[in-house]
């Protein structure tokens, strides 16, 4: 009997230890550091045991919509999944946070030991790697910084932003989706802004604007909330005072709590000179809490946040122009960083100009250039006019350079997948040829073979002193927007769109009918090379079923009932085509479907608060609110309860479409906001 007693105690202790085990993340898709994730990809995370918390997964985009909404599933299993409502933009970087609130299933389930952050890039469409010239757009500023492409009005078209230091403003041009931009709107965000970051700091699905003021007597970082319609509320901006010159501002979730944080390097030039890393933790509402400053070696040359050792915690790579070194500071997942034990990487130089005894490293990019899943560092030696690629070890360090690109007077390096072949290529500005007289430099191109080996540099376009990359004409390929500032010779500041050349067999859309559809009415799309279509989108939302007529080449589909419409996009293996006009979708009042959620909304009209009367249990809901233009203006996650409430306060009065989505179905309702 005593033996049985002790056996039962041992069994109880064993089962208790099993229940107490902390779940660990074993695999994730897309993979960490991937550079060619599909635009329609779902986020799938597999753990060492059954877990819950799928709705806690946070996905952040840096070009379309910021914080992404989606359908969460998998609670009670070992694999959690989040399928974003809308597709990702070609070439953009995506960050996924698995907060510590994800925990083992059951009453005794343990939380993750620490949150996890996974980053990847989205694939660009196939292209030739060459570019055609778009119309020149005149600018007024003569000191332009940080050209940025992002969709700040949620219409599915990339817009252009640039900091104008002389005028102390940020210039915003809304994109037309065809490869050009409208007139500038000016936002007086900061004195002498020399840096901007576009990200969703308020978790509302609208991109916000952080601008870095470099004025000696008013150094500050202002974070102005975006309204999702192309404007930023400067009057309501959060202010982060800065003591010294702020450089290399970065936005990322360094403490894995599902809110974006702001980090930057502070550098004091005058005696006593110093450099520190400043970490500001975001609260998801646009405000920040500053942590103690981390002292760095005196000097500057760049700062990048990335998971250099693949442990799910973001690390910090710092370049120093005085010591000529790259140093890694490993993150602990709380927002703190410590110098890695791996040796610092010394940057050699062959420069004969100046008196610099070592190379002057400038971080151009940190990404996987070799396809091995480890982050590599592309470093510009500013004294030798050389770009070198250092392969990552996966432990926070880097090996000897495997590629060296030297061009006289090379200025800056940029990275994008120019051919859509799943690897990252290099662009660089070089002051040569006739472009110098136009106020800019030539842009040269080095194509990657997928292993970190590059073709010889070829000048392909110009003029530019700075540039940004992205898909500005919605054909899926990488385009370039050049910024040319005034020079000592001739010319005036301007913006030059350069459109990536699609393959000859790429699809085109010439016509669609009707332009106003209902959820049960077929839409017909006509064009060229639509055969083999693999994906059809309306307003970035995938169409469930579509049909291609082999005789006529026309494509037909039933529009999604849960979106008010948007641009039509057709993706084929040889490219992407997007309509110039939007498809409007009207929801029929008497529509009935087997999976339509039985939910009533009241009051309607309303002044802001909308109550949901769930006539049947539906579980957690995702509520997306669209304005009359089909723009997503607010996203709200609703917990499972009989009568949840949505807050639409702050939106402009008018008619809105409310899309309610759960695992068991969806429904749409029109709401009049007074």
The per-residue DSSP string of 301-319 comes to EEEEEE-TTSSSS-EEEEE
Q: Are residues 564 and 622 in the same domain?
A: no
Quote the pLDDT of residue 586.
76
Which domain covers residue 648, as residue numbers? 600-673
Would 50 be classed as within a structural domain? yes
Would 593 be classed as within a structural domain? no
Residue 421 DSSP label? S
Cis ω on the peptide bond leading into residue 589 (within 30° of 0)?
no
Q: Which residue has the higher pLDDT, 643 or 404?
A: 404
Q: Are residues 568 and 636 in the same domain?
A: no
d(CA 365, CA 375): 10
Q: Which residue has the higher pLDDT, 434 or 385?
A: 385
Paired strand residues for 609 = 647
Mean pLDDT for the chain? 87
Q: Are residues 51 and 107 in the same domain?
A: yes
Q: How many CA atoms lie within 13 A of 125 on its CB side?
A: 33
Tokens of 16: 């208790």
Q: Are residues 41 and 111 in the same domain?
A: yes
Quote the pLDDT of residue 327.
96
The CATH number linked to 640 is: 2.60.40.3080
d(CA 489, CA 440): 10
Q: Which pLDDT band, with edges at 50, 70 and 90, does 486 fall under?
A: low
> Are 134 and 496 in contact, with CB atoms under 8 Å apart?
yes
Tokens of 499: 């459109």
Share of the chain above pLDDT 70, in %: 89
- Per-residue pLDDT, averaged over 512-522, amounts to 82
119: closest CA among 202, 232, 43?
43
Residue after which a domain boundary falls, among 102, 122, 142: 122
d(CA 277, CA 291): 10
Return the number of other C-beta atoms located less than 10 Å from residue 437's C-beta: 13
Q: Are residues 29 and 118 in the same domain?
A: yes
Would 359 be classed as within a structural domain? no
Length of the chain equals 674
Would 574 be classed as within a structural domain? yes
Q: Which pLDDT band, with edges at 50, 70 and 90, does 630 fall under?
A: low
Q: Which of 295-299, 311-315, 490-494 has the lowest mean pLDDT?
A: 490-494
pLDDT digits over 100-111, tens only? 999 999 888 899
Q: Are residues 55 and 81 in the same domain?
A: yes
Q: Does the pLDDT at position 364 exceed 50?
A: yes
Cβ neighbours of residue 585 under 8 Å, at least 6 residues apart?
516, 517, 518, 519, 538, 559, 560, 561, 563, 564, 565
pLDDT digits over 564-604, tens only? 788 999 999 999 999 988 898 876 544 444 456 778 888 88
Would 633 be classed as within a structural domain? yes
Residue after which a domain boundary falls, among 586, 613, 642: 586
> Are 505 and 529 in contact, with CB atoms under 8 Å apart?
yes
CA dihedral 403, 407, 410, 416 (to 10 degrees): -50
Asked whether the CA dihedral 127, 130, 136, 140 is positive or negative, the reply is positive
d(CA 429, CA 443): 5
The CATH number linked to 62 is: 2.60.40.1220
Residue 85 DSSP label? S
Three-class SS state of 3 = helix
Q: Does the pLDDT at position 510 exceed 70?
A: yes
pLDDT digits over 335-353, tens only? 999 999 999 998 876 544 4
Pairing of strands 516-518, 575-586: parallel
Q: Are residues 582 and 612 in the same domain?
A: no
pLDDT digits over 262-280, tens only? 999 998 888 888 899 999 9
d(CA 282, CA 206): 16
Q: Are residues 659 and 621 in the same domain?
A: yes
Q: Are residues 572 and 617 in the same domain?
A: no
Please give the angle made by the CA atoms of 70, 76 and 645, to the nearest 5 degrees: 45
Would 433 be classed as within a structural domain? no
d(CA 95, CA 256): 11
Number of domains comprising the chain: 3
Q: Are residues 561 and 616 in the same domain?
A: no
d(CA 112, CA 97): 12
pTM for this model (two decimals): 0.84
Quote the pLDDT of residue 193.
87
Q: Which pLDDT band, with edges at 50, 70 and 90, does 219 fall under?
A: confident
H-only helix segments in 519-564? none
Q: Which residue has the higher pLDDT, 216 or 538?
A: 538
Would 436 be classed as within a structural domain? no
Tokens of 629: 């233009």
Asked whether the CA dihedral 141, 142, 143, 147 is positive or negative, the reply is positive
Would 355 be classed as within a structural domain? no
CA 349 and chain centroid, separation: 34
Q: How far is CA 422 from CA 368, 479, 641, in A?
A: 11, 16, 44
Q: Which pLDDT band, with edges at 50, 70 and 90, does 534 fall under?
A: very high
Q: Are residues 54 and 89 in the same domain?
A: yes
> Are 483 and 466 in contact, with CB atoms under 8 Å apart?
yes
Q: Which of 249-253, 490-494, 554-558 has the lowest mean pLDDT?
A: 490-494
Q: How far is CA 658 from CA 561, 618, 626, in A?
A: 11, 17, 6
């Amino acid at each position: 009997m005593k033996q049985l007693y002790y056996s039962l105690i041992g069994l109880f202790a064993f089962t208790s230890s099993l229940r107490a085990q902390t779940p660990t993340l074993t695999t994730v898709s897309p993979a960490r550091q991937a550079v060619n994730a599909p635009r329609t990809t779902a986020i799938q995370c597999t753990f060492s045991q059954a877990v819950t918390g799928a709705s806690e997964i946070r996905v952040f985009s840096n070009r379309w919509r910021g914080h992404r909404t989606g359908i969460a599933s998998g609670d009670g299993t070992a694999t959690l999944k989040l399928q974003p409502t809308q597709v990702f933009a070609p070439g953009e970087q995506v960050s996924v946070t698995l907060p510590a609130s994800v925990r083992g299933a059951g009453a005794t389930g343990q939380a993750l030991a620490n949150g996890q952050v996974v980053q990847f890039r989205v694939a660009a469409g196939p292209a030739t790697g060459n570019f055609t010239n778009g119309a020149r757009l005149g600018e007024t500023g003569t000191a332009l910084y940080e050209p940025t492409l992002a969709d700040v009005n949620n219409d599915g078209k990339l817009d252009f932003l640039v900091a104008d230091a002389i005028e102390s403003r940020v210039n915003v041009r809304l994109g037309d989706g065809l490869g050009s931009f409208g007139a500038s709107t000016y936002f007086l965000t900061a004195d002498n802004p020399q840096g901007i970051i576009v990200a969703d700091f308020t978790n509302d699905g609208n991109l916000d604007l952080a601008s870095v003021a470099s004025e000696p007597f008013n150094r500050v970082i202002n974070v102005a909330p975006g309204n999702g319609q192309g404007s930023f509320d400067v009057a309501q901006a959060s202010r982060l005072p800065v003591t010294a010159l702020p450089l290399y501002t970065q936005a990322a979730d360094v403490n894995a709590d599902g809110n974006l944080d702001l980090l930057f390097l502070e550098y004091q030039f005058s005696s006593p000179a110093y450099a520190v890393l400043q970490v500001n933790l975001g609260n998801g509402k646009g405000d920040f809490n500053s942590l103690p400053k981390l002292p760095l070696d005196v000097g500057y040359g760049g700062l990048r946040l990335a998971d250099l050792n693949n442990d799910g915690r973001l690390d910090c790579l710092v370049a120093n122009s005085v010591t000529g070194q790259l140093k890694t500071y490993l993150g602990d997942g709380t927002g703190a960083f410590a110098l890695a034990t791996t040796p610092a990487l010394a940057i050699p130089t062959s420069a004969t100009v100046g008196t610099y005894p070592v190379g002057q490293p400038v971080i151009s990019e940190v990404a996987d250039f070799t396809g091995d899943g480890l982050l590599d560092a592309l470093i510009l030696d500013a004294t030798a006019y050389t770009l070198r690629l250092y392969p990552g070890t996966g432990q926070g360090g880097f090996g000897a350079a495997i590629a060296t690109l030297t061009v006289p007077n090379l200025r800056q390096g940029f990275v994008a997948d120019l051919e859509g072949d799943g690897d990252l290529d290099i662009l660089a500005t070089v002051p040569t040829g006739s472009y110098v007289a136009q106020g800019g430099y030539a842009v040269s191109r080095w194509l990657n073979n997928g292993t970190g080996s590059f073709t010889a540099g070829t000048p392909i376009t110009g003029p530019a002193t700075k540039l940004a990359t992205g898909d500005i004409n919605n054909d899926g390929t990488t385009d370039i927007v050049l910024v040319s500032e005034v020079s000592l010779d001739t010319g005036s500041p301007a913006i030059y769109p350069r459109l990536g050349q699609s393959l000859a067999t790429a699809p085109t859309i010439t016509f669609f009918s009707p332009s106003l559809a209902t959820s049960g009415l077929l839409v017909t799309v006509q064009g060229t090379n639509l055969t083999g279509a693999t994906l059809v989108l309306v307003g970035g939302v995938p169409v469930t079923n579509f049909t291609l007529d082999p005789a006529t080449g026309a494509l037909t589909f039933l529009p999604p009932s849960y979106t008010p419409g948007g641009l039509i996009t057709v993706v084929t293996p040889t490219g992407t085509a997007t309509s110039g006009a939007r498809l409007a979708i009207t929801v029929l009042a008497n529509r009935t479907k087997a999976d339509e959620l039985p939910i009533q909304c009241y009051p309607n009209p309303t002044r802001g608060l909308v109550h949901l009367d769930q006539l049947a249990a539906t579980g957690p809901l995702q509520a997306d609110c669209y304005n009359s233009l089909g723009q997503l203006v607010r996203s709200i996650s609703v917990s499972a309860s009989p009568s949840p409430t949505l807050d639409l306060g702050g939106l402009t009065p008018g008619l809105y479409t409310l899309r309610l989505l759960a695992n068991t179905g969806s429904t749409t309702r029109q709401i009049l906001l007074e």
